[in-house]
Structure 1
Amino acid sequence: MDQIRIGMIGATGRGGIAKYWHKPDGKSIVVGGMDVYPERLAAFQKNVNPDAFITTDYRELLERKDIDAIAITSPDFCHEEHAIAALESGKHVFCEKPLAITVEGCDRILAAWKKSGKHLMSGFNMRYMNMFRTMREIVDSGVIGEIKAVWVRHFVGYGGYFYYHDWHGNSKNTTSLLLQKGSHDLDMIHWITGKYTKKVSAFGSLDFYGGDKPNDLVCNNCGEKETCTEASFDKLNQCAFREEIDVEDNNMIIMEMEGGIKASYLQCHFTPDYHRNYTFIGTEGRMENDELTNRVIVKTRRSNTMRQYADRIYEVKEAEGTHGGADPNICKDFVDMILYGKEPVATPLAGRMSVAVGCAATESIRSGGRVVEVAPIPDFMK
């Protein structure tokens, strides 16, 4: 096989990464798209491939013999159904994060993957961002020694727009935003330390969004739209203060990880600014990122060697493409995995473990902060 033929389940939104796969003269081509909204399928054909097969039923996409692989960029609560069906139909699968919205759902996907003999990749594009690749490289170099503490703060400045004007705001669709938004950060903690989380204790609440507004209220028809701080006139315009919203917007997790590492993760969706701040403290130094200046800073502690005089600042290079250049790289990795058997940076097990931590933390939050064990790796994955 010289070229991978790809079908998209979820033709717009995150499905916009199709442009990195559609290379008619290259190693991959996008030949099909599915979406429940016909107007989005029309946009998909216009922007990606005018000759692509389109459908509102994903099963029709899976039945096609001219499709080798499926990219799943549908809503979170659809991932399990779509991924298992695609694997069982004999397709390779790229599944956007989170892998599923329950641990059990993830394990069913992994079981179907093992049985299928096909390739599966989890859509953790942060593993492909220069900022975090730099941090992983610094840890691997040994300059900060053995990691003992991790602190992560996620300021989600567009939290209301991204998560409370549509389906994300209801827990039946997401479980919690610790899976949807936090899955990236939990995975980064795992990837950079090289360790998984064993147990968690967490606290969270719905401190800003939600309320008593009707579930069918949209911003365009609201009498408060001129003064509301969360008014949105985009396609995402359900009221952010409607009754059905029950997903916490302010979360804090404490984690005990393999190797005795202690980690914390803080996530707030009504902060005015947007950035991620990561701090890793080891036996020989501390590493911290600054997204505002695109730098990684390393401080070394007294060690009675020359190393203590060598604090360092890494100027992270800009990269072309969406999500800081990560999207074209993860799309290339998916193709190389199928064509050449390359081990992906973002593995299926990693996708499962971030969901497992998010689910455990959500359980802890909703049971008063008690300590919850993270569901261990299933035996068939060991």
Structure 2
Amino acid sequence: MTNNRRLFLKKLGLTGAAAAITPMAFANEPNIKSFLQRNSAFQEGSPIKLGLIGAGIMGVEDMTTALRHPNVEIVAVCDLYKGRQEAAKQRWGDHLFLTSDYKELLKRKDIDAVLIGTPDHWHKQISIDALGAGKHVYCEKPMVHSVKEGAEVIEAWKKSGKIMQIGSQGVSSLGNEKAKELLAAGAIGDIVYAEGFWARHSPEGAWQYNVPADGNEKTVDWKKFISNTTDRPWDPLRFFRWRNYLDYGTGMSGDLFVHLFSSLHFITNSLGPTKISSMGGLRYWKDGREVPDVLLGTFDYPESPQHPGFNLSLRCNFVDGTSGTTYLRIVGTKGSMDVKWEEVVVKMNSNAEDDDPFLKEQAKLRGGTEGRAKILPPRETTYAAEKNYKGAHYDHFANFFNAIRTGGTVAEDPVFGLRAAAPALLCNDSYFQNKFINWDPKNMKLI
């Protein structure tokens, strides 16, 4: 057993524990599907009243998921486009308080927590103001629009004493939890490499969002939208397709790479990479956007107390015949894991079991000297969530609501959120500046 594996097992309290990998996974069969279940009970507790700030695609999805939980209510919605305010009333009821000014929403005493689903350039200030107003905060990823904003959010969160959860929901998924357990147990040996891929093809997936016919300066508070960035004349594309523009969005890496960083850091306990580089280009969606539609990133994770040194490569493609493809693959010295939010597929090398002390320990724990083949892992094992699993998004909100009701902690607080956002945002800096970026993940500072 390597020192790194001993460290993993010790840190998670798994030393010598065969239970870290389910007995089913060691049956001598070519491929086994072991079902993952959410066993921990979520607290229902007292009612939690919510306000939504930013009622676009993700804001609506967040609120819809939040309201699936018992004793959770929506009382107010803020959006700069009046069409979304009216849609919110039709969706959730005439009782809603509607506004274009988020500060008016924050003044309300009947709101316990806010969900922030605005464009990225408003995440920092609204989060700080909400925490200052005594509200718990669920903020969509990435937590900030630039790395330099991170320290302000973390300071405001710590000062407030409130709960803040960042919205990379995969962190609360059964798939990520199982992958973390398997890696710690040495199922694929020591990590040496990881890769992630995210592909989209449809116009909506490539940020070609619908521009409503009534979207104009009378129905949109454009001046408020741009008040913290460059002053420009009204532009419906910049408002409704904001992800395409650097003043408001964070490109492919801020939208999608950040999910992969969040999952990887959760699974490995990593603080992040120290060297970041990227390249790409605008290959297809030549619609005036300022960011690439193909992006490749490479990252160096040095040896640390949490894990061995390894390298990461990430890819994102907005014109792809495999529309919707996404995965995170973690490669170790004995095998690999393909990790999705609801599934983990473990693939073993052909010689993975040869003279492996870890598997010998497994054999002893099973009382067996009679045929080591019975305890050898199959070449490929799938762990999949049961059909009644409510999903990572549901669990991420359960995590948030539990913390509010019990005074506990969340899976993705602002410190974790910045460490996931930073390499994604610095990926953009590398691309536009055409250079390597050096980052201190422990102290969360540029070098």
Same fold, judged at TM 0.5 (above): yes
Q: Report SS of the residue matched to 1:277.
A: strand
Per the TM alignment, residue 289 of structure 1 is displaced from its structure 2 partner at its CA by 4.3
User: What is the match of residue 226 of structure 2?
Assistant: none
Residue 143 of structure 1: how far off its partner (Å)? 1.0
Query: 1:290 and 1:313, CA in 2 relative to 1: closer, same or farther beyond 3 A?
Result: farther
CA shift at 1:170, angstroms? 1.1
**Matching residue within 1, 21, 24 for 2:66:** 21
1:303 to 340, 344, 354: 354
Q: 1:148·1:262 contact (CA, 8 Å) conserved in 2?
A: yes
418, 426, 438: which is aligned to 1:352?
418
Identify the match of residue 270 of structure 1 among 311, 316, 319: 319
Q: State the shift of 1:152 in Å.
A: 1.4
Letter in 2 for 1:111: E
Q: Which residue of 2 aligns with 1:231?
A: none
Q: 1:347 to 1:319 in 2, by over 3 A?
A: farther
Q: Which amino acid aligns with 2:66?
A: W
Q: Does 1:333 pair with 2:333?
A: no
Match of 2:363 in 1: none
For residues 205-216 of structure 1, what are the structure 2 equivalents within 5 Å? 205-210=281-286
Q: Which residue of 2 aligns with 1:109?
A: 153
- SS of the residue aligned with 2:320? coil
1:151 to 195, 198, 205: 195
Deviation at 1:340, TM superposition (A): 0.6
**Residue from 316, 324, 331 that aligns with 2:384:** 316
Instruction: Look up the match of 1:189.
Output: 264
> Contact 1:150–1:264 at 8 Å: present in 2 too?
yes
8 Å CA contact retained: 1:126, 1:132: yes
* 1:112 CA displacement: 1.1
Q: 2:176, 2:266 within 8 Å by CA — same for their partners in 1?
A: no
In the alignment, does 2:166 pair up with 1:122? yes
Match of 2:439 in 1: 374
Which residue of 1 is the match for residue 105 of structure 2? Answer: 61
Q: 1:366 is paired with a residue of what secondary structure?
A: helix
Large movers: runs of 4+ above 4 Å? 305-308, 318-321, 377-380
Query: Residues 152 and 264 of structure 1 are in contact (CA less than 8 Å); yes or no, is this contact kept in structure 2?
Result: yes
Shift of 1:159: 6.4
Normalised TM-score (structure 1) = 0.82
Percent of residue pairs identical: 24
Give yes or no for contact 1:97–1:180 (8 Å, CA) kept in 2: yes
* Counterpart code for 2:311: K
1:50 offset after TM fit, Å?
3.2
Give the aligned residue type for 1:204: G
Q: Is the 8 A contact 1:179 1:354 kept in 2?
A: no
Structure 1 residue runs without a partner (length 5+): 211-240
Distance 1:198 1:31, change over 3 A: same
Structure 2, gaps ≥5 residues long: 1-44, 210-240, 304-308, 361-372
Whole-angstrom distance in 2 between the partners of 1:158 and 1:342: 40
1:374 match: secondary structure:
strand
Please state if 1:71 is matched with 2:115. yes
Cα drift, residue 278 of structure 1: 2.2
Partner Cα distance (1:375, 1:50) in 2: 49
The equivalent of 1:203 in structure 2 is 279
* Secondary structure, aligned partner of 2:182: helix
d(CA) in 1 for partners of 2:419 and 2:78? Answer: 28
Name 1:279's counterpart in structure 2. 329
Tell me which residue corresponds to 1:2: 46
Q: Deviations over 1:119-138 (max 9, x none)?
A: 11111111233333332232
Quick one: which amino acid aligns to residue 180 of structure 2? R
1:130–1:318 Cα contact (<8 Å) kept: no
The alpha-carbon deviation at position 5 of structure 1 amounts to 1.5
Residues 169 and 337 of structure 1: CA distance in aligned 2, closer, same or farther (over 3 Å): same
Q: Distance in 2 between matches of 1:319 and 1:73?
A: 29
**2:175–2:340: 8 Å Cα contact kept in structure 1?**
no
Name the SS for the 2:247 alignment partner: helix
CA offsets per residue over residues 99-150 of structure 1, 9 Å max, x none? Answer: 0110112221111111212111111111233333332232132211221111
Indicate the structure (1 or 2) with the bigger Cα radius of gyration: 2
Post-superposition Cα deviations, 1:197-249, rounded to whole Å, max 9, x if no partner, equal 11112112112222xxxxxxxxxxxxxxxxxxxxxxxxxxxxxx2x3x11011
Q: Which residue of 2 aligns with 1:235?
A: none
Measured in 2, the distance between the counterparts of 1:360 and 1:21 equals: 31
Q: Could you say what the CA RMSD is over the residues aligned between the two structures, in angstroms?
A: 2.6
Equivalent residue for 1:248, pick from 288, 292, 307: 292
Contact kept? 1:284, 1:303, Cα under 8 Å: no
Contact 2:273–2:441 (Cα < 8 Å) also in 1 = no
Of stretches 279-288 and 348-357 in structure 1, the one that deviates more from structure 2 is 279-288
Number of residue-to-residue matches in the alignment = 343
C-alpha displacement of 1:357: 0.3
Q: Secondary structure at the match of 1:150?
A: strand
Residue of 140, 145, 156 corresponding to 1:96: 140
Cα shift at 1:315: 4.0
Maintained 8 Å contact 2:77/2:99: yes
Q: Give, in whole Å, the separation in 2 of the partners of 1:379 and 1:289.
A: 27
CA contact (8 A) 2:252 2:316 kept: no
Give the Cα separation in 2 of the matches to 1:178 and 1:164: 17
For 1:110 and 1:290, locate their aligned partners in 2 and report how far apart those are by CA, in whole Å. 29
Pairwise CA distance, 1:160: 6.0
Measure the CA separation in 2 of the matches of 1:347 and 1:86: 15
* CA distance in structure 1 between the partners assigned to 2:413 and 2:202 by the alignment: 28
- Aligned partner of 1:238 in structure 2 is none
Query: Which residue type is aligned with residue 106 of structure 1?
Result: G
